[in-house]
Amino acid sequence: MKILHHGVWFRLLCVIGLLFLLPSPAEAAPPDSCLAYAFTESQNHQFLVGDNTSQFGTNMTIIHDCDEIMVIIDESEFTSSRNFTLVLDQGLHNISLIGDNFTAHYDNVNFYPDRLDWEGQYRFLIDADVEYIDVGIAEVRANWAVVWGVIIVWALSTMVYWNLISSYTQRNFIEEVKQ
């Protein structure tokens, strides 16, 4: 019984030893592709580029570990062996990142200006489908509001003073009565 017990332990130790001698999966197959990603930045916030995403800030930074990466934005091509930043126009773009056995396509990426950029807010107001009030009409309405406010305040204060004076005279009115 003891011999069988020792035999099982011996076999288990031999199997574990053989597992340690096998190469690890990381050593067995070296990576043959690279990794690349793009993001935009607005103040302290970063926005990762993806399909159908909204990006705030028009400076797109590309980070990669490829020997060389090609970035295609709509019809324009850019190639670099280092990390770099591109300045884009605001609006809708299609972006492709192509490197060593690596390809990423991002469709319908919408770029907005940095949130402190007044031009983007101005364009939003101009392009918005909103009906605005004419300045002249707004001034006329403001003047009528002032006139009606003055009339209401005058009427209320006159009624309050009239009632105060009337109650004072009614309480202090002395009438001579003949008998």
Provide the residue ranges of all domains of the chain, joining segments of one domain with +.
Answer: 36-127, 134-164
Mean per-residue pLDDT, 166-171? 84
Residue 94 pLDDT > 60: yes
Lowest mean pLDDT among 41-55, 87-101, 123-137: 123-137
Overall pTM > 0.75: no
User: Cα–Cα distance between 130 and 128 in angstroms, integer?
Assistant: 6
pLDDT at position 1 is 46
pLDDT at 138: 94
User: Which has more pLDDT, 60 or 58?
Assistant: 60
Counting Cα atoms < 13 Å in the Cβ hemisphere of 112 gives 16
Tell me the average pLDDT across 110-115: 82
- The confidence band for 6, taking pLDDT boundaries of 50, 70 and 90, is low
- The domain defined by 36-127 folds into Immunoglobulin-like (2.60.40)
Residue for token pair 């004076």 = 165
